Amino acid sequence: MLAAWWLCVVAVSLSATALSALDPEQEVRVVDPEQEARQYLELLDKEYGRRANVETLAEWGYASNITDETLQYKLNVSAEHAKFQKQQWLETIKYPWHTYKDPDIRRQFQKYSVLGTAALSEEKFDKLEKLVSEMESIYSTAKVCDYNDATKCDLSLEPELTERLAESRDPKELSHIWVEWRHASGEKVRSQFEHYVALSNEAAVLNNFTDASAYWLKDYEAEDFQDQVKALWDQVKPLYQQLHAYVRRRLNEKYGDDVVNRRGPIPAHLLGNMWAQTWNNIFDISVPFPGKQNIDVTEEMVKQGYTPLRMFKLSEEFFVSLNLSAMPETFWKNSILEKPEGRELICHASAWDFYDSKDFRIKQCTAVNMEDLFTAHHEMGHIQYFLQYKDQPFIYKEGANPGFHEAVGDVMALSVSTPKHLRKVGLLDGASTDDPEATINYL
């Protein structure tokens, strides 16, 4: 009898509880999975932004002052960031982001779900970071002996070797510079590079890619990307072959058959650039119509007393004239616009985003010449792109694809290299003409 009474009490109690749960006056909490995911991304965005700022400051410290201390600090910060990435990745992949309706949420989760080189073990990640830093240091601090003075062995890539390649017309000196700099740089990083390739491939496999090349291509988001590149090359190849043959003939006329074969490849050291990627420094040799106006404004820049700072101020004026942003004060305060005395640094021109929406910098060992003037506009083009997406979530603070930033920079550089613009800024004399020979010289 007692047991039956107790069962009745329990039944009544459960019924009351069930009714209470269905009472519309009671607050019912419905969990929205996408809202939870959005909140997670907001927290992740703030933390990644904070850590990226710290890591970029460490990278800048090393790139602008190569010492054992700045290297070790950079490596320590990178290792700590990799640990965070790995921990956060384990949390991120728990979310069923493929099922979310919001394309923005799916997109952010997709990008966060690729771990990158942090997928390596701590030991191998540290090794990879150290290899990259060693290669950067060797490349940036490489020194070559003077061709005319074997006791003078302090010639750096920037500015001495770059200037010699641009100005010398002695093929033996040019060959000496080209070969010796590669002995001092590329030859010395071969072992590190081989290990770097192996670790990069291993990291790619850990991220479910076949190798590092497949990992690098993923951000172009086109399965036929390589076919697209080949198709573009096939379009431009006939023009390039004609240009190549024309320049080769002019170099042959300058140096003779013993130096330049009229049917073979062009010796790279004769093209005025350490990597033969631009040929503007041999314009005096290759110009089709020497009697027409010279569009190289280097001499005029020197005559007018241009400095690296003035070159960047001119670049800023150009962007402001397009109704784009002036550089923030922190840019002028923190950038390195010419090579400092008394310390080694990575001189390769580069633009930097410090991921705090206010700190943007350029590091460039600027020389007063036309090529570096265009480079200044190119690098500031990167800064303009940074400024346009500075308020986006951290994961979107990058180019639309790995080549897009360079496209933006080069479009800006091309825009300021026209005779019309150079006349407008007072670096080229004379009125604009429709002289076809002058136009061909410019092209």
Centroid of chain to Cα 386: 12
Torsion, CA 431, CA 435, CA 440, CA 443, rounded to 10: 30
Cα(93)–Cα(74) distance, integer angstroms: 28
DSSP symbol at 348: S
Asked whether 428 and 300 are in contact (CB, 8 A), the reply is yes
Place of tokens 């070559």: 144
DSSP symbol at 146: B
Asked whether 167 and 180 are in contact (CB, 8 A), the reply is no
Mean per-residue pLDDT, 356-379: 96
Q: Flag whether 382 is marked binding.
A: yes
Q: Is the pLDDT of residue 439 over 90?
A: no
pLDDT, tens digit, 9 for 90 and up, residues 59-102: 999 999 999 999 999 999 999 999 999 999 999 999 999 999 99
Q: Which pair of tokens denotes residue 119?
A: 């997928």
Centroid of chain to Cα 74: 18
pLDDT, tens digit, 9 for 90 and up, residues 276-319: 999 999 999 999 988 887 788 999 999 999 999 999 999 999 99
For residue 6, the model assigns a pLDDT of 37
Place of tokens 């943007």: 360
Q: Which pair of tokens denotes residue 258?
A: 């013993």
Which of 59, 180, 202, 379 is an active site residue? 379
**What is the C-alpha R_g of the chain?**
29
Asked whether 206 and 120 are in contact (CB, 8 A), the reply is yes
Q: Which pair of tokens denotes residue 442?
A: 């410019």
How far does the chain reach from its first CA to its final CA, in angstroms? 107
Q: Is the pLDDT of residue 5 over 70?
A: no
Q: Flag whether 406 is marked binding.
A: yes
Whether 379 is catalytic is yes
pLDDT, tens digit, 9 for 90 and up, residues 410-419: 999 899 999 9
The verdict on whether omega for the bond into residue 159 sits within 30 degrees of 0, i.e. cis, is yes
Q: Flag whether 220 is marked binding.
A: yes
**pLDDT above 70 coverage of the chain, percent:** 92
Cα(361)–Cα(382) distance, integer angstroms: 10
For residue 2, the model assigns a pLDDT of 39
Q: Flag whether 194 is marked binding.
A: no
